[in-house]
Structure 1
């Protein structure tokens, strides 16, 4: 009788443990999903914010052009300097820590905001322009880093699908810059040669962890500027 009771207690304990493990697993999955949803919302908000800021900047720029034309024609000689706070230069934006622009790779359906810096707080919700590297469209090596999110298609998760000849587009307040991918390769995490500024042309370097879910190495995508258009 005691043996049967002991056996029943063990079986009940096992059933309870199994249920608790299932609940814990569900809670963990829910937490991961919630984090991904929050990051996705932040990313979409940043892209929308950039679009609004660029639209506002164009309006201010057009108003400035009209005022300059009026000054030249003598129709409004008393017009002074206009408020250009809403039309910050790219360098001023970097100093303020605001959005740098938006990066697009049509081949992998990627459109993500780019912010200055590569700290964990920055690249948790956007791609990060690495400090001390060239700005998009300028001479030098522009390096941009991003996570490989567990959700398919997010951030640089599909960057391994990008090949030589593909196009990477970066839009900033100064214009739109299109880079053609020249090569892709894998390096050790401590290999900083990929950030070298020893170049006389406008280059782009995209950096992310690889393999997916492991991140023991770094996947590098290199490109050169092929086309640019004004804002």
Structure 2
């Protein structure tokens, strides 16, 4: 029991340290620096020698998860935008607010679309005004309601600026899929939320994913059986 209590205390210390670090970063970043690094990141020109995400990298860069019930998205959120991290989840755009919430803050999260075998941000083009986005960062659940869906040129950063008195979140991805000539911006404002609401949404998404797996599994079995029958008949006719 004492060992368990000590482990819990250590985890809480690490958590509090991370929260303090995020808040310090937010204090340093009062307005979005509209400079070349941000522009390069948002236009997808980041290079980091992508070689796959290790367990150590995941733990070092993990901030939480982004959950979007309408389009069944539940993906890891990482603390910086690199190609390695973008292959496995969505990322905080450097220079924008950390996902802690607060007036005068604007968190920008970017993710890929159109990757084979990975959903990531591909379905966010289906989001409309009024839809809900959850950000689960460290031990805090934040909820945002979509207020604007907009397509801009890659170097148009106007809509990513902090706005005095507002607590904003913007999701960014390339559009159209596979062409990537523009950027889709889904902006949302903070709304109240309970942990139960988020947990219910996550459970719903998990059930939906399970149904999809079962469906495609059944299709695979049917195709395999059909192929076996056809091959068997062909062998009998030889």
Bin the TM-score by the shorter chain.
0.5 to 0.7
Q: Secondary structure at the match of 1:84?
A: helix
Q: Secondary structure at the match of 2:187?
A: strand
Contact residue 149 and residue 184 of structure 2 kept, 8 A:
yes
Q: Does 2:98 correspond to 1:98?
A: no
Q: Does 2:95 correspond to 1:166?
A: no
Contact residue 175 and residue 228 of structure 1 kept, 8 A:
no
When structure 1 is superposed on structure 2, of 146-155 and 219-228 the one drifting more is: 146-155
Gaps of 5+ in 1: 1-58, 65-80
> Deviations 1:41-98 (Å, cap 9, x if unpaired)?
xxxxxxxxxxxxxxxxxx879966xxxxxxxxxxxxxxxx998236543354799942
Change (3 A) 1:133 1:60: farther
Q: Does 2:75 correspond to 1:112?
A: yes
CA distance in structure 2 between the aligned counterparts of 1:130 and 1:82, rounded to whole angstroms: 27
User: Of 183, 189, 202, which residue of structure 2 is paired with 1:218?
Assistant: 183
- Would you say how many aligned residue pairs link Structure 1 and Structure 2? 157
1:23-172 equivalences under 5 Å are 84-85=13-14, 87-92=16-21, 97-136=60-99, 137-139=101-103, 140-151=105-116, 154-172=119-137
Which has the greater radius of gyration?
A: 1
Aligned to 1:183: 148
1:131 Cα deviation from its structure 2 partner:
1.4
Return the TM-score normalized by structure 2: 0.58
Change (3 A) 1:185 1:61: farther
Contact residue 156 and residue 208 of structure 1 kept, 8 A:
yes
1:196-207 equivalences under 5 Å are 196-207=161-172
Change (3 A) 1:115 1:83: closer
When structure 1 is superposed on structure 2, of 209-218 and 89-98 the one drifting more is: 89-98
Aligned to 1:18: none
Contact residue 135 and residue 142 of structure 2 kept, 8 A:
yes
Change (3 A) 1:119 1:62: closer
Considering Cα pairs closer than 8 Å and 6+ residues apart, tell me whether 1 or 2 has the greater RCO.
2
Aligned to 1:77: none
Return the TM-score normalized by structure 1: 0.59
Gaps of 5+ in 2: 26-58, 196-238
Change (3 A) 1:223 1:83: closer
